[in-house]
Amino acid sequence: LPIEEWKAKKQAELKETIAAQKSVLQEVVQDGQRLADYLYGRGRLGSHITSGNAALVLQTLPQARVVLTSRDWDKFGRRVNKGAKGIPQLVRVNGYYNVGSIFDVSMTYGNKPYLIPEIKPEQMDKAIKELERLSPVNIIFQNEGVIGYDAEQHAIVFPTAMPQHEALARLPAEIVIATAEQHTPGISQA
């Protein structure tokens, strides 16, 4: 393949991936349920992946858990299944953006464990406080009552006995529900 054709092919691939990211992210913010599904999925994937790349992964494979390049999977002693098609991603190499591919753990095999992104216990308070800052309503911990967004109290409610990691896992979706409730009167939580 002549160099000019190769460059044109790579440039078209880059433009196509950028357009796909924009399109998927626009779809994500169309309604509260799509946004909640995206936020849950984004939380599973961890912070090493950009929002646009996460949106492409979750569109292709909604139940994706851990995504890495084939080279990174090799480092964990896992191999990409023969014939597995990678999910296109924008990657930055030497200051330039290129299109690369990543694979979910479900597309790999091997006996060795893989990295599971986790929030450390000492980071829980900070993470919850940051989400509280983003919430359109107060977040209350109390002994009884509704769990989740409560329209009557105009707050997100969790039991005081709920472990922090469970509250943190539910909080993004409850914030989305509260936000949708604020902007669309008449919608209630199912």
Domain range summary for the chain, segments of one domain joined by +: 3-109, 121-183
Residue 125 and residue 171 in contact, taking contact as beta carbons nearer than 8 Å: no
Q: What is the pLDDT of residue 190?
A: 43
Confidence of residue 33 (pLDDT cuts 50, 70, 90): confident
pTM of the model: 0.59
- pLDDT of residue 188 exceeding 70, the answer is no
* Number of other residues whose CB lies within 10 A of the CB of residue 20: 17
Q: Is the pLDDT at 187 greater than 50, yes or no?
A: no
Say what the pLDDT of residue 116 is: 61
Given this model, what pLDDT does residue 183 score?
Answer: 60
Cross-strand pairs, 125? none
Residue 167 pLDDT greater than 90, yes or no? no
Confidence band of 115 (pLDDT split at 50, 70, 90): low
**Token pair of 168 as six digits:** 């943190």
Please report the pLDDT score of residue 174 as a whole number: 87
State the average pLDDT for the chain. 85
Which has the minimum average pLDDT: 31-35, 65-69, 73-77, 137-141? 31-35
Closest CA to 89 of 81, 79, 77, 101: 101
DSSP state of 118: -
Q: How confident is the model at residue 66 (pLDDT cuts 50, 70, 90)?
A: confident
